[in-house]
């Protein structure tokens, strides 16, 4: 076991009274004294500040043109990168040769380069993967010396606009650079809570000042990983390594919205990404299993790993499950055989040896409120 | 009141032992959203997983502190699991157990010893 890394804002988390836990090789704040439930509710009602500096920030700098870099990246994922306009960001997925998902990510067109944010647990592998496949056209630079903060919730815009007025003009998935007294901020209007909000890449030297300035605002409270997980689960968003991994395809995972027409059969740049044969076939014929929302009927949460049954036949399993503070009930996501994936299908889940009723339901559990 | 190293409290009430978890344990667990209690008349042996407590994030087992028979459980926790956070040593008791000999409590920590453990 290697030693845990500390975030640049480690001291701030301790001052705020965070409980720190190991996560993806880092010591991370799982909750603050407010507690997971209240932190979750605060983010939904006001604005929450998350330190997500453990995530990987990567710059893809073209050796030639940005289009060449975009096309090279398209060879690693079933996403329209070439058509991503300057100042816009898009969700993406690295796939492997069998159509599984190596990681999910955000990719932004920042004019003279692409900026990619990847999951912490995958970042070393992702940088190696990109370096191995993009080096003919692109310098792959793992960004160091910058923190990543997320400000999420209905009052995020009002709070951040006091420091960076330009964010008021941003729409969901816009990206800008803002020169501030905290240094140049790379801001996207996005996040992973289902709420409107922003992700802010800030130089290490300005991170504490920015965090302090935001936390000093009445609307803003620090939110830990615990509430980040319940917020993203209510929003129906996948957690890599749990809901998606190398054994799940984007089609099984219900992430087909992320695959633009041009990369599909009949499109201008159809296929040409790892696992294309399987993924395009599943798009045409349907996958064998599907990621679905699940509502346990009782009060007992169904956690990750809970086996799902139709009668005595196992038809799937839970990949994320817990309690939804805004829903007020246990909620879960998991995979079921495709013919058991219809909304309203009644199944049972094995909770400590008891078969408890659970119903397939639509995602998200809590409506998203992105500023489109 | 007596205490176990697993952060349960035990007190005697009408020749029965009442069991719950300490405020320290409740704080550590965080917001409790579900408590699964044993059935009345269940025979339990010390160390059995007898109660499951679910917080927003995770499930935790509570182990039986003594051998005996469950004679009453706190059904109020079914509707209001949050009582465990609000009043862990009072309203949020888990179950009452009948034991052969109440002197089994003697081996557990008293208040001072427990405070030393958690400090």
**Residue A66 · residue A139 · CB < 8 Å:** no
Chain A nearest CA to B51, separation (Å)? 11
Q: Check CB contact under 8 Å for B55 and A36.
A: yes
Instruction: Indicate whether A2 pLDDT > 90.
Output: no
Q: How are beta strands A56-62 and A138-142 bridged, if at all?
A: antiparallel
Å between B79 CA and nearest CA of chain A: 9
Contact A210, A231 (CB under 8 A): no
Contact A299 B81 (CB under 8 A): yes
The yes-or-no verdict on residue A223 having pLDDT over 60 is yes
Domain boundaries, chain B: 2-101
Residues of chain A positioned with their CB less than 8 A from the CB of B56: 36-37, 40, 226, 230, 322-323, 325
Which tens digit of pLDDT belongs to each residue from A243-273? 999 999 999 999 999 999 999 999 999 999 9
Nearest to B33 among A38, A226, A301 (CB): A301
- Look at the block and give the residue holding tokens 């992702």: A126
Give per-residue pLDDT as tens, A99-117.
999 999 999 999 999 999 9
Mean pLDDT computed over every residue of chain A: 97
CB A103 within 8 A of CB A25: no
For residue B52, the chain A residues in CB contact (below 8 A) are 352
Question: Residue A80: pLDDT above 60?
Answer: yes
pLDDT of residue B52: 95
Tokens of A318: 């839970």
Interface of A with B (CB under 8 A): 30-31, 35-38, 40, 226, 229-230, 299-301, 303, 322-323, 325, 330, 352
Per-residue pLDDT tens over the stretch A136-147: 999 999 999 999
The answer to whether A226 contacts B36, with C-beta atoms less than 8 Å apart, is no
**Domains defined for chain A, CATH in brackets:** 5-52+145-234 (3.30.1360.120), 288-372 (2.40.30.110)
Question: Under CATH, to which class is B2-101 assigned?
Answer: mainly beta
CB pairs under 8 A between A and B: 45
- Decide if A104 contacts A90 (C-beta within 8 A): no
Collapsing DSSP to helix, strand or coil, A54 comes out as coil
Give residues with Cβ within 8 angstroms of A19, minimum separation 6: A29, A30, A31, A32, A224
Q: What is the pLDDT of residue A1?
A: 53
Residues of chain B with pLDDT under 50: none
Counted residue by residue, chain A has a size of: 372
* Å between A235 CA and nearest CA of chain B: 16
Nearest to B92 by CA among B28, B16, B8, B12: B8
Give the chain B residue whose CA is nearest to the CA of A229.
B57
The pLDDT of residue B58 is 86
> What is the reported pLDDT for B101?
93
Question: Which distant-in-sequence residues (6+ apart) come within 8 Å of A26 by Cβ?
Answer: A4, A5, A6, A7, A54, A120
How far off is chain A from B61, nearest CA to CA, in Å?
11
* Chain A residue nearest residue B37, CA to CA: A300
């Amino acid at each position: 076991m290697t030693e845990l890394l500390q975030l640049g804002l480690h001291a701030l988390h301790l001052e705020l009274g965070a409980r720190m836990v190991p996560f993806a090789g880092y010591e991370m704040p799982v909750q603050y004294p407010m507690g997971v439930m209240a932190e979750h509710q605060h983010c939904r009602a006001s604005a929450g500040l998350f330190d997500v500096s453990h995530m990987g920030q990567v710059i893809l700098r073209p050796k030639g043109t940005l289009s060449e870099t975009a096309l090279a990246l398209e060879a690693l994922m079933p996403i329209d990168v070439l058509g991503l306009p300057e100042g816009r960001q898009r969700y993406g997925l690295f796939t492997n040769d069998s159509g599984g998902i190596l990681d999910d990510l955000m990719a932004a067109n920042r004019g003279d380069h692409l900026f990619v944010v990847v999951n912490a647990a995958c970042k070393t592998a992702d940088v190696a993967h990109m370096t191995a496949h993009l080096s003919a056209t692109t310098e792959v630079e793992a960004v160091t010396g910058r923190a990543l903060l997320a400000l999420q919730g209905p009052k995020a815009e009002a709070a951040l606009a006091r420091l960076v007025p330009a964010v008021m003009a941003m729409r969901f998935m816009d990206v800008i650079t803002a020169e501030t007294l905290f240094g140049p901020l790379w801001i996207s209007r996005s996040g992973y809570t289902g709420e409107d909000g922003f992700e802010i890449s800030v130089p290490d030297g300005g991170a504490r000042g920015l965090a302090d300035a935001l936390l000093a605002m009445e609307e803003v409270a620090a939110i830990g990983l615990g509430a980040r997980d319940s917020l993203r689960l209510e929003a129906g968003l996948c957690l890599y390594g749990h809901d998606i991994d190398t054994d799940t395809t984007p089609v099984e995972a219900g992430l087909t919205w992320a695959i633009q027409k041009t990369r599909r059969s009949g499109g201008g740049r159809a296929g040409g990404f790892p696992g294309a044969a399987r993924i395009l076939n599943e798009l045409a014929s349907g996958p064998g299993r599907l990621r679905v929302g699940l509502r346990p009927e009782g009060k007992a949460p169904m956690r990750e790993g809970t086996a799902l049954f139709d009668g005595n036949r196992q038809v799937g399993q839970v990949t994320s499950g817990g309690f939804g503070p805004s829903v007020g009930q246990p909620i879960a996501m998991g995979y079921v055989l495709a013919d058991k994936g219809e909304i309203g299908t009644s199944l049972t889940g094995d909770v400590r040896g008891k078969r408890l009723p659970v119903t397939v339901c639509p995602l998200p559990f809590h409506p998203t409120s992105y500023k489109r | 009141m007596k205490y176990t190293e697993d952060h349960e409290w035990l007190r005697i009430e009408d020749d029965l032992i009442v069991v719950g978890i300490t405020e320290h344990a409740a704080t550590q667990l965080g917001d409790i959203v579900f408590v699964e209690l044993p059935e009345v008349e269940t025979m339990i042996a010390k160390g059995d997983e007898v109660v499951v407590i679910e917080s927003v994030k995770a499930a935790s087992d509570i182990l039986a502190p003594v051998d005996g028979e469950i004679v009453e459980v706190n059904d109020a926790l079914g509707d209001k699991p949050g009582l465990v956070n609000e009043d862990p040593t009072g309203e949020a008791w888990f179950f009452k157990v009948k034991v052969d000999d109440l002197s089994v409590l003697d081996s557990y920590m008293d208040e001072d010893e427990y405070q030393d453990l958690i400090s």
